[in-house]
Amino acid sequence: MTYWKTLSVSVLALTLVACGQGAKSVSGDEAGAAEEAAENAAESMVETAAEEAPVVMSLADAVAGDWRPEAHKARDEWRHPVETLEFFGLTPDMTLVEVFPGGGWYTQILAPYIAAGGGTYVAAGFDPALGVEYYDRGIAKFEENFLSNPELYGNIVVTALSASSGPMAEPASADMVLTFRNVHNWMGQGYADKAFADMYAALKPGGVLGVVEHRAKADVEQDPKAASGYVREDVVIAMAEKAGFVLEDKSEINANPKDSADHPSGVWSLPPTLAKGDASDEDYDVEAYKAIGESDRMTLKFRKPAQ
C-alpha cells in the first residue's frame, strides 16, 4: 500500500470511529471493528477511484508497446526515441504536431502516449489536394493503420503540409512540433522556408520545435535540393532562425561517427534502405553499409520566443 493510500485509509477510519464515539461510549473491540470496517470501505473507494482514473503512459511504455512491430523496435538502436523525446521535453498533456509522419514509425509511439495523457496529437502529413498517387497511397495507409484504432491512438487530427497548403494547425495552438528526417524533402521540393514558417505559426509563444535530420559534413557545399538526403546543421539552423525560431539546445543522441555522409545513393545507401548506387558496381558491399548503421543525425531543439 502506498503512503498516500495508507494515509487516506487511516484518516477515514479514525473519522468514522470518532463519529461513533460522539454518539456513545464504545469498547476497544467495538472501536477495532469499526476501524476495520472503515478501512475496508476506504480500500474499496480507493480501488474504485484507481480503476476510474486515466492510465498515464510513460515514454518507455510507449516504446515497449506490443503494438509496435519488431522491425520497428529494431531501429530504436539508431533512433533513440525515449532519449530524443525527453530531450525535446515532450509531456503527454501537450498539443503535439508531428510533421510528415510518413509510415508512422514515431506515430506508433507518440499517438498512444499523447492519447493516454489527455493531450492532442496532430498529424500534418501529405497534402491530398495535390492529387499525387504516392501521397494518396500514404494517406490511405495512415488512415488504415491509425485513424481506424482510436482506442489505442486517440482521436488523431489530420492536416497537411505542402507548398500550397494552409495552416497545419490552428495558429498558436501547439505546445510542440516535431519533424524527423524531413528537411531534405522540403528542400528538394523548394518549400523549406514555408515549412519552417508554418511550424512557427502553429506553435504557441514559448512552444518547442524539435528537428532530427540527416547531417552533412560541415565542410561540404550544401546542395540546395539536398538530393543526397544530407543537410548541413548550420543550414537547418539558419532556416529555423529565418522563420523566427531561437536555437535552444542541440544533442548528439542520434549521432553516428561511422557515417561519412558520402555514399553512391546518398543516405539511402545505408540501412534500412541499402540502395545500390549502380547495378553494375562490382565493388558494392552491402555488409560494409550494414556495418556503418543508420545515418549520422543532428538533433536540434528550437523555441518560439514568448511574446
**Of the candidates 70, 76, 80, 154, the residue with the CA atom closest to the CA atom of residue 111:** 154
Full-model pTM? 0.82
DSSP assignment string, 43-106:
HHHHHHHHHHS--PPPHHHHHH-TTS-HHHHTTHHHH-HHHHHHHHT--TTSEEEEE--TT-TT
Q: Which cell numbers hold the place of 227?
A: 538530393
d(CA 62, CA 111): 9
Confidence of residue 277 (pLDDT cuts 50, 70, 90): confident
Domains observed in the chain: 3-52 (no CATH), 59-303 (3.40.50.150)
Please state the rounded mean pLDDT for residues 172-178. Answer: 98
Cβ count within 10 A of residue 282? 5
Predicted confidence at residue 108, as pLDDT, reads 98
Task: Please write the tens of the pLDDT for every residue from 84-136.
Answer: 999 999 999 999 999 999 999 999 999 999 999 999 999 999 999 999 999 99
Question: Considering the chain, what is the average pLDDT of its residues?
Answer: 87
Confidence of residue 33 (pLDDT cuts 50, 70, 90): low
d(CA 264, CA 281): 10
Question: Given a cut of 60, is residue 55 above it in pLDDT?
Answer: no
Question: Given a cut of 70, is residue 42 above it in pLDDT?
Answer: no
* CB half-sphere exposure, 250, CA atoms < 13 A: 12
Task: Please write the tens of the pLDDT for every residue from 156-172.
Answer: 999 999 999 999 999 99
Task: Please write the tens of the pLDDT for every residue from 218-274.
Answer: 999 999 999 999 999 999 999 999 999 999 999 999 999 999 999 999 999 999 999
Question: Given a cut of 80, is residue 14 above it in pLDDT?
Answer: no
Predicted confidence at residue 37, as pLDDT, reads 54
Question: CA dist 149 to 62, 108, 143, 145, 222, Å?
Answer: 16, 11, 9, 7, 42
Question: Given a cut of 60, is residue 23 above it in pLDDT?
Answer: no
